[in-house]
Amino acid sequence: MSTGHILLGLLTERPKHGYELKREHDERLPGAKPLAYGQVYATLQRLQRDGKVAVTGVAQDAGPERTVYEITGKGTDDVHRWLDETERPAPYVSSPLFTRVVLALVAEGSADDYLLRQRGAHLERMRELTARKNTAETTVGELLAADYALHHLDADLRWMETARRRIDELTREVRS
């Protein structure tokens, strides 16, 4: 997913300045890595260079002047074309979990300790997310982001159990 497409999508509502786009990204996409201000402005400059956004003026609330951007027809076409695309499943599954299991077997001769520690870390994160879901001020966006994370953590836990069942076979394979 590109930052440019996210910013274009947020600009479809109305013209906005970079601080506003960063704030809306972080609020509307809970669970996503927050954007850095530098990333927002660098992306806006590329979008402007490519004719997908244009500067419409300057806004000054209580602070410094801020450049306001609006999406152009080219930008609107681009964001709608992007939204029409189906997100392809990743062709390669490069999981840090799998990598660490294999390297634990190579370097330490066993992955059991790693898998047990990782299971504990996943369960702790699941408890945190579940607790966050049960607070009164949780938004629907935050609920969906937490559900997404919980489902992925659950899939990882199931994979860890499968790995533990197959660890002897994997050990033989790695060592041969």
Residue-level pLDDT at 122? 95
Q: How many structural domains does the chain have? A: 2
Q: For the residues 154-176, what does the mean pLDDT come to? A: 87
- At 40-68, the pLDDT tens digits run 999 999 999 999 999 998 877 777 788 99
Q: Which of 42, 57, 84 is the last residue of a domain?
A: 84
Report pTM: 0.70
In a domain, 157, yes or no: yes
What distance lies between CA 59 and its chain's CA centroid? 30
| Cα-based distances in Å from 157 to 133, 165, 167, 170 | 20, 13, 15, 18
- At 23-41, the pLDDT tens digits run 999 988 887 889 999 999 9
- At 78-113, the pLDDT tens digits run 999 999 888 777 666 667 888 888 888 877 788 888
- Cα 169 to Cα 173: distance, rounded to the nearest angstrom: 6
One domain for residues 100 and 41? no
Residue-level pLDDT at 136? 77
- Cα dihedral sign, 100-105-107-111: positive
Select from 141, 136, 8 the least CA-distant residue to 81. Answer: 8
Q: Are 97 and 122 in contact (CB under 8 A)?
A: no
